[in-house]
Amino acid sequence: MSSPPRIPQPPPRQGPRRNRRDGDQRWLAWIWSLALGVGLGISLYRWLPPLTSFVDQWVSRLLMG
């Protein structure tokens, strides 16, 4: 007879502790992504309406012929 399958030990409940001074740089990524999103939102808010009106004008010219 073969032996029953071995069940590995579960991992420890707490993962490795990080020191606050380790230099966790995730907050920089959050700030940069927020700034990028705000910048893209402002630029789209400024440039999208003229672009859509330009496209609408040309579509109406093509359809009305």
pLDDT in tens, 13-28: 776 666 666 667 888 9
Token readout for 16 is: 């490795």
**Cα–Cα distance measured from residue 3 to residue 57, given in angstroms and rounded to the nearest whole number:** 79
> Residue 2: is its pLDDT beyond 80?
no
pLDDT at 37: 96
pLDDT at 12: 78
Indicate whether this model's pTM tops 0.85: no
Say which residue, 37 or 20, is predicted with more confidence.
37
**Cα–Cα distance measured from residue 37 to residue 33, given in angstroms and rounded to the nearest whole number:** 6
